[in-house]
Structure 1
């Protein structure tokens, strides 16, 4: 009987009570658990008793750099734990990067979060699915946002697959992702990958290692771009491999621990938002939006394909923050095959997907007359052309303030030609006396 291909499993875990249930389920549901080599960057309180309490056996303790590494075995699975106090964490990609240092040349690579559940035979299924793609590409990657599970009620598991799509540009100009339901009899090409599920050849760890400078936001689009330029092709899996626990409102998060107060007391070097600010500049440099102050080294682009080709592949022009119409239409297209978009179409058809939340306070609108008939909300470009318009009745405005207390958030979502961008949002009341005071906010 042939031995199964070994799989290196990388997990970043931050004070997560779901880590042990995740490990136990991963092993229980694996078709060939002895092929697994699990590496965990465990950002907790450095008390390893939870692994012993789960029935794992401590085989060895060593040091790598300044970090303790505990090697456990459980049902013939090797589990290596990099133990770090959570105040010393530097973010998700930094933790993933540390886990990757324990890679030992395994045939396949799996990156997941520490709050997952697994389909029966998930390992064999993933390998079979990836191998089926080798006639299309030598470097297939399976990735998407996994369906949801609820640890309180394990019967509540989402049973449909999703594929990744463009959602919006952040204020830093970084493409942010969401997902839509997906149903196909085979894996389908996609331009994006998700940090919570990456299954790829083991070479991915060496070619596209996690950038420890990236804190959290922007990791997925920057890694997708780097993977593409290194010659990896991403596919949406056509079957469920794992489930993911979203929200996790009760769980500790790094932004709840690494606060300004924690920095002031000396518990952390930087507040989370400071790391996030530095990180986003790094992401912008990877995406060609600003110059990098230093050579990115192993965390830069490959030489197989270019960043410009990646933009064509996903239908997104990063610098101008424009997209092909099909990216935000009902099609939600996330991959454009080579040659499917002509140079003329690329230059002429791109549009700005304008999406923003603008907040007005009750005080800002306090000078409005009591007998307002309706409100005008308009978005204007720099030359004062109206791009988007909404009207709101007095009753609707009052209801919004009741629901949101002293602030009112206006969700604006529209598109404009590539040559026109919004500049300001204006709100103005109208009554029988005519127009009232205009309140203006920058876009």
Structure 2
């Protein structure tokens, strides 16, 4: 075996950073003569095939060329590079888009010798660069457990600045774009050609560790990786070029789960299975993870997301909740925690429940620096887009109300625009998806004529006393009501609010309480977190209500259970006071307090 030669193995998929990467590796090496390359070049056409002609003048550069249509994924391509090894002592697995530190070859050999192990591997997620050689970040990091996806896949993440360490730090996970070890690693733990892409790093980490290899993270920066963060020059990807990629992906996922005993094994994986020097149980104890419990991790992370969402809404009513929010967010920054906030789930649920703007408002007010930058940016973009949309819809509403008033039709807005004006005047916190107008039954024909003349097209009447109108150029939908909960049309019952510097009429708070509870019960409480929040906001602004009269009215409308459920949920979620009359009624209806809703459980945690 060549005493100090380094075999650099690169799986390159149509990547035009390949030649700059190789040239930089040679230019920055203290002893370039000891470097050899094994490259699996996957190309799409003749032009790409001949791109690597630029490597002909580089000594010890071995290339396997493969048409992109015949490529079987990352694990397969890396297994091809292993076949190009010719006895070099060390092996460096890296990507085709890298830049290297001066003297990287000597640094790696020296740091490998510093590791207190007979079989060490140096690995890390390198900091970033932009071509041609613009360094984006410049500190070494370790790795930690990542988040389990719905299919059981898990990608490690970069954590902790290791700049102050004096030797490589022990770790549990490898990064496929940078691994350096004695070349025996390739022989003892060859790459599995059937692992397509997302499963490769974790599976390889566990296989290597159970074969007796110890993982270390360099305390000095050895190289930089191009993460393609900009959209200027997107890199071609295997799954974009190959129609059968999904079948390979599914097979790979199943193989990953079976190798790590996340599901029953259906075959013997042989050399691609786990080693017998140390057990999977030993690895799990060392890494602080249980692959068998991956589904529980997902549930726990979603629960933390729901706890955060609940806290975000509670901040509006109780600023002391900010401390709990910050604690939850600070915990998420602790890389040693396995269960963290599932931010993707947080955004999804907040969007589905109509509280995305409220979530942003709370997080931005409480601790924006603790929210992942990409998530905060996504929430912020939605918040401002929603605010602009709501103002536009409010202007549409005011224009329609004016047109109707000119025709002697009194129309009352009975949903979000007027409700927001009634509560606090902030039009940015709730989505205005429809404009609901209540009119006297006698004015239905006139109102329909005015809406039609304005370009709105009437839909079918699906509910008694209600009709939808849509406009081909406007996103907002009009819901026209001439019957509302059996209430008699009485303008005397109305109150006035200010909307965009205009005075309009709307329902009084007591009527909104009934309307919101009945509406939420109709669409389902599990989908009505926003309405429960709106009930709480009304009670915070108008705490004195005629509770006996409201309960009697709800009973007459056969809506007593809906009303009590809404008030009880508001108390459970937002700690609003339960009036004595409501408490007494709840004691006779225990089924209400037994209700099970995902977001309710989060608020109690």
TM-score, normalisation: structure 2: 0.53
- CA distance in structure 1 between the partners assigned to 2:155 and 2:111 by the alignment: 27
Cα deviations across residues 44-66 of structure 1 (Å, max 9, x unaligned)? 136443233x3x43xxxxxxxxx
User: Is contact 1:426-1:440 (8 Å) kept?
Assistant: no
Q: 1:118 aligned to 2:97?
A: no
More helix by share: 2
- CA distance in structure 2 between the partners assigned to 1:85 and 1:425 by the alignment: 52
User: Is contact 2:416-2:430 (8 Å) kept?
Assistant: no
Aligned to 1:201: 182
User: Is contact 1:427-1:439 (8 Å) kept?
Assistant: no
Displacement of 1:355: 2.1
Cα deviations across residues 307-359 of structure 1 (Å, max 9, x unaligned)? 0000001111111236799xx7655239xxxxxxxxxxxxxxxx854626343
- CA distance in structure 2 between the partners assigned to 1:425 and 1:253 by the alignment: 40
Q: How does 1:12-411 map to 2 (within 5 A)?
A: 12-45=11-44, 47=46, 48-52=49-53, 54=54, 56-57=55-56, 73-74=57-58, 77-133=59-115, 136-152=116-132, 154-183=133-162, 184-247=165-228, 249=231, 250-258=234-242, 263=243, 270=244, 272-321=245-294, 330-333=333-336, 353=340, 355=342, 357-358=344-345, 359=348, 369-370=415-416, 395-398=428-431
Q: Which runs of 5+ in 2 are unaligned?
A: 302-330, 355-413, 421-425, 435-474, 477-524, 539-562, 570-594
- CA distance in structure 2 between the partners assigned to 1:221 and 1:318 by the alignment: 11
What SS does the corresponding residue of 1:395 show, helix, strand or coil? coil
Over 3 Å counting, the alpha-carbon distance change for 1:209 and 1:440 in structure 2 is: farther
User: Is contact 1:160-1:181 (8 Å) kept?
Assistant: no
Cα deviations across residues 265-302 of structure 1 (Å, max 9, x unaligned)? xxxxx1x2222121111111111101232211111111
What SS does the corresponding residue of 1:37 show, helix, strand or coil? strand
Displacement of 1:186: 1.2
Over 3 Å counting, the alpha-carbon distance change for 1:318 and 1:397 in structure 2 is: farther
Displacement of 1:161: 1.1
More strand by share: 1
User: Is contact 2:332-2:341 (8 Å) kept?
Assistant: no
Q: Which runs of 5+ in 1 are unaligned?
A: 58-72, 264-269, 335-350, 375-392, 407-423
- CA distance in structure 2 between the partners assigned to 1:115 and 1:32 by the alignment: 21
What SS does the corresponding residue of 1:205 show, helix, strand or coil? helix
Over 3 Å counting, the alpha-carbon distance change for 1:45 and 1:255 in structure 2 is: closer
TM-score, normalisation: structure 1: 0.70
- CA distance in structure 2 between the partners assigned to 1:425 and 1:280 by the alignment: 33
User: Is contact 1:165-1:180 (8 Å) kept?
Assistant: yes
- CA distance in structure 1 between the partners assigned to 2:34 and 2:78 by the alignment: 21
User: Is contact 2:6-2:90 (8 Å) kept?
Assistant: yes
What SS does the corresponding residue of 1:228 show, helix, strand or coil? helix
Q: Comparing both chains, which one has the higher relative contact order based on Cα–Cα distances under 8 Å and sequence gaps of 6 or more?
A: 1
Cα deviations across residues 155-186 of structure 1 (Å, max 9, x unaligned)? 33311111111231111233332112322121
CA RMSD of aligned residues (A): 3.6
User: Is contact 1:4-1:35 (8 Å) kept?
Assistant: no
- CA distance in structure 1 between the partners assigned to 2:236 and 2:193 by the alignment: 21
| Equivalent residues, number | 351
User: Is contact 2:144-2:335 (8 Å) kept?
Assistant: yes
User: Is contact 2:7-2:91 (8 Å) kept?
Assistant: yes
Bigger CA radius of gyration: 2
Over 3 Å counting, the alpha-carbon distance change for 1:225 and 1:361 in structure 2 is: closer
Displacement of 1:362: 8.1
User: Is contact 1:141-1:233 (8 Å) kept?
Assistant: yes
